[in-house]
Amino acid sequence: MQFFESYIERLGSDVVPPPEIILGSDGLETVARRISSLPAGTGVWIISDENTDTAFPLRAALSSLASSTTPASERRVAACSPLPGTPRVVPDDFLVERITCDVIAAKAGLVVAIGGGTISDIAKRVSYLAGVPNWCVATAPSVDAYTSAKSAIRVDGYHNGIPATPSSLVVCDVDVMAAAPQVLFLSGVGDLTAKYFAYLEWFIASLVTGEPYSEREASFALDSARRAVAAFQSLPSGARPDAAAARALGDAVLTSGLAMRAAGNSRPAASAEHTIAHFWEMAGVVGVESYDYHGLLVAIAAATVFPFYVGFFDQLRRGMPDPDRDVVEPYDHLSSLDRLVAPYRAKMIAETGGPVPLDERRRRVARFLASAESIIERAETLLPELETAIGALGAAGFPLTPASAGISAEAVTTSLRYVPYLRDRFGMFDLILYLGWEDRLGLPSPAGR
């Protein structure tokens, strides 16, 4: 039994209806047969881009296979053009609205995504707006979005995880995925490194703010990351990932997406590193195109914040703070916004409002300290594992530094300063802010100071 299958069994009625997932060989033939068996006249709208169509002519193959036994009068695959390959597709609300209008005008009864995470997110959101189901044919194990119930869409220029229709059928053909560029494998493993931080921070948030927490979803997401990292590390040095590696990584990203769907949000899978990676993407500060993949940026962000997590727990071991004495007054972070973050002022207000009052900061720090022993124990297990995973990715030929991706020092500084304000998600950076430990840890001064 594959890992995602054991997870679906555990989910029971928590995800209804459960998606049908095909992870193996002959996935394309399966999709073609399914299209051919649709009721006569059911229009199928395929969403892909030129890069995918060039590397994997799946659109043409599906159209040919699906129509080979179907009279032309009942042909099901709509004559829709692929999205541009250059520049890369940006999944914003304008593009989604345009495709939705096309799907409705064509009276399509099914949307099929062929590609990676961006294409999947667009298709799920279009499906939601058009009121039709969607399938996903994943061409690379590059992200964990395929089985989630949210789409990462830019609305008014800002990244948002917004409601979407989950794919009822997800097909991961391991031979197709094994042929994907190696950078997409690294992106998939990179996206999964976030699960180590998420497992820690979601647990902390539940203790400190009372946020609902599920150990089942947190554990399955973390274990999916562990399995992917182990499979990646087992590859011979310099070797291309094969079908077995594609299956292992595909299994991991599918499981992580299901955990997000069951939780109702991305808490099992994303933390401060995702906030930073999304900011870099929104601000357009990635200067090296070969690094401009979501999962790689997540890994770079994870490597960037890792020393601050280690330093935070080192400080705790030296002596616990006193909530009444050591918690600092809040700063007005909106008083003078850094240049790169200024366009997102309205969104930051909507996300977090004003600063957390001093009394509430003290209460939160006190709750953290009441459970510090169990939190530190969890961190001592997770952080060394994460360090190993980051090292394995770096050894694969993609140094995980912002400079390698062409991200400026200004962009890094801005992202670190505004982590607590870019998203309403409590985590370690909030605690650092409350205690005023930026100077101790070598972080930029907090926004507003």
Q: Which tens digit of pLDDT belongs to each residue from 150-197?
A: 999 999 899 999 999 999 999 999 999 999 988 999 999 999 999 999
Model pTM above 0.85: yes
Last residue of a domain, one of 147, 180, 213: 180
Mean of pLDDT values over 206-212: 97
Q: Specify if 266 maps to a domain.
A: no
Q: Specify if 157 maps to a domain.
A: yes
Q: Specify if 203 maps to a domain.
A: no
Predicted pLDDT at 73: 45
Q: Specify if 210 maps to a domain.
A: no
Token pair listed for 400: 């995980």
DSSP code at position 88: P
Mean of pLDDT values over 24-50: 87
Residues 163 and 287 in one domain: no
Position 53 confidence tier, pLDDT thresholds 50, 70, 90: confident
Which residues 6+ apart lie within 8 Å of 117 measured at CB?
Answer: 142, 143, 145, 146, 152, 294
Could you report the per-residue pLDDT of 345-386, keeping only the tens digit for each?
998 988 888 889 999 999 999 999 999 999 999 999 999 999
Range of the domain at 367: 271-441
Last residue of a domain, one of 165, 180, 195: 180
Residues 174 and 275 in one domain: no
The tally of domains found in the chain comes to: 2
Residues 297 and 436 in one domain: yes
User: Strand pairing partners for 216?
Assistant: none
**For the chain, what is the radius of gyration of the CA atoms?**
22
Predicted pLDDT at 325: 97
Residues 175 and 278 in one domain: no
CATH of the domain at 125: 3.40.50.1970
Predicted pLDDT at 44: 92
Which residues 6+ apart lie within 8 Å of 9 measured at CB?
Answer: none
Q: Is the pLDDT of residue 238 over 90?
A: no
Percent of the chain with pLDDT over 90: 72
Cβ 202 vs Cβ 425: under 8 Å: no
Token pair listed for 171: 């097909």
Mean of pLDDT values over 9-22: 87
Predicted pLDDT at 66: 52
Q: Specify if 233 maps to a domain.
A: no
Q: Is the pLDDT of residue 313 over 60?
A: yes
Q: Is the pLDDT of residue 269 over 90?
A: yes
Q: Specify if 254 maps to a domain.
A: no
Mean of pLDDT values over 205-232: 95
Q: What is the side-by-side strand order in the sheet with 43-47?
A: 20-24, 169-173, 134-138, 108-115, 43-47
Q: Specify if 213 maps to a domain.
A: no
Q: Specify if 219 maps to a domain.
A: no
Last residue of a domain, one of 160, 180, 200: 180
Predicted pLDDT at 240: 81
Which residues 6+ apart lie within 8 Å of 3 measured at CB?
Answer: 223, 224, 227, 251, 252, 255
Token pair listed for 278: 């999304």
**For residue 121, how many C-alpha atoms fall within 13 Å in the half-sphere facing its CB?**
24
Q: Which string of DSSP letters, residue by residue, matches 117-172?
A: HHHHHHHHHHHHHHT--EEEEES-S--S-TT-SEEEEEETTEEEEEE-PPPSEEEE
Could you report the per-residue pLDDT of 56-111, keeping only the tens digit for each?
777 777 666 555 555 544 557 776 889 999 898 999 999 999 999 999 999 999 99
Q: Is the pLDDT of residue 237 over 80?
A: no
Token pair listed for 329: 């007054």
Strands 43-47 and 169-173 turn out to be unpaired
Predicted pLDDT at 75: 53
Computed over every residue of the chain, the mean pLDDT equals: 91
Cβ 435 vs Cβ 326: under 8 Å: yes
Mean of pLDDT values over 228-254: 88
Mean of pLDDT values over 423-437: 96
**CA dist., res. 167 & res. 134, Å (int):** 5
Residues 316 and 427 in one domain: yes
Map tokens 């790169």 to a residue: 340
